[in-house]
Amino acid sequence: MRRHHEGRGEGSGRVRGAARTATALVAALALAATVAGCGSGEAEEGTGEEVALRLVAPEYGDSAENSSKGYWKRVVAGFEKGHPGTTVDVEVHPWRTVDKVLARQVATGNAPDLAISGTYASYAADGKLYRADDLLSIGTQADFLPPLARAGEIQRVQYGMPFAASTRLLFYNRDLFEEAGLTPPKTWDGVRTAAEALKKRDVPYPYALPLGPEEAQAETLNWLLSGGSGYTDDLGSYTLDSPENVETVGWLKEELVGEGLTGPTPPGELDRADAYAAFAKGRVGMVNGHPSLMRAAERSGVRYGVAPVPGRTEEAGATLGVTDWMIGFRQAGHPEEAGAFLDHVYSEKNVLAFTRAHDLLPVTHTASDTLAAAPGDTTLRRFLTELPEARLYPSEKTSWPELSTRIKSGLADAVAPGGSPKAVLSRLQRHAAAYENPQAGNG
């Protein structure tokens, strides 16, 4: 299959491949009389060499029923059937460790052909990645939803290919709300009022605020966006200590955490997975959640509703969007075969299969249009409608992984007793500046 950016690695790969084939053919003819019976069971050099691709991927499932291993087994089987001579081995690792496993493989010179990761910028900056147009056909690359494709670019060149996406909505327990005579809140004041009513009815977590180290950066950004700011401004500069952000975190500290409306576990010790598990047990009144929480709640028989994330004075204009990145490493040197596999992965059929298996959002126009028109998937479509205006992490910045780690470990200090939102956010801003410009120091 021809890629449409052949000048970066692919053409030279074909030249080298042709040279190897010619050399092998001469050697084979010279030795034919004495080794005529040898080589059975091996691919012959002149008929196309066997290529074994390797993909490192995270586990998206939460049970044996929807394990990612089953999904990839079906996708690989379909690809290998139509591409004899190319095999694909998929390593599935837990999300908590997959990026570390990948970093270790790259550092030791054993980079896979492809990987799904939460980051791509550092690998791209080090020259380790193929451009998306080195790998993908024109049709596949053009099918990505534009906001997601742009988020995978560095200086207008796409290296990160969106693989799975999600947005956030406010989940609320319908039974608890109906018993308390509540309707879904549209503003922060509404969140506080509803949480107070739920607390009076002994709901353990009126509003679950997961600022623990698992995913504090997500909950934090959701609130910062609803307060009118975020991690960066429209030009991409970090703005962690903006007045709006200081006010937002101050409101959380005084109006929710300080009033005992976030439950018995301190926010800094509450991970997202634990908050979702508590919601699925009926112990949470409200929590910001992504689509996979639907399945957990349904499995436990919890009646839930979803609503737009509340804003400071009205419904928030933007919500958090998250995408994971498919990336291709140059080290392995199989852009043609890796590209053919990616075209297969991003077919409408396979994108929809992944979406429905894991309650995540499709990243392509074709799959999104099909999902939007389907008679089912009603709640999933609510998340899909948020995607065009969603704000993503600044993944194009090489500084983001380190800053994200700082947010995970330190943001919760701002809402703890005696904590200072301004001091914590200013410290994070100094770290952000230092990561952007190492010569400036870390403050």
**Arithmetic mean of pLDDT, 64-81:** 93
Q: Let me know if the fold of 10-20+48-165+322-389 is the same as that of 169-319+397-440.
A: yes
What percentage of the chain carries pLDDT values higher than 90?
77
For residues 428-443, average pLDDT: 79
CATH number for domain 10-20+48-165+322-389, candidates 3.40.50.720, 3.30.1330.10, 1.20.1290.10, 3.40.190.10: 3.40.190.10
- Written out in words, the top-level CATH class of the domain with range 169-319+397-440 is alpha beta
| pLDDT of 43 higher than 70 | no
175-204 residue pLDDT tens:
999 999 999 999 999 999 999 999 999 999
| Interval 193-236: pLDDT, tens | 999 999 999 999 999 999 999 899 999 999 999 999 999 998 99
8 Å CB contact between 318 and 225: yes
Domain spans of the chain? 10-20+48-165+322-389, 169-319+397-440
pLDDT at residue 419, rounded to an integer: 97
**What does pLDDT average to over the chain?**
88
Residue-level pLDDT at 48: 61
* Structure confidence by residue, pLDDT tens digits, 253-303: 999 999 999 999 999 999 999 999 999 999 999 999 999 899 899 999 999
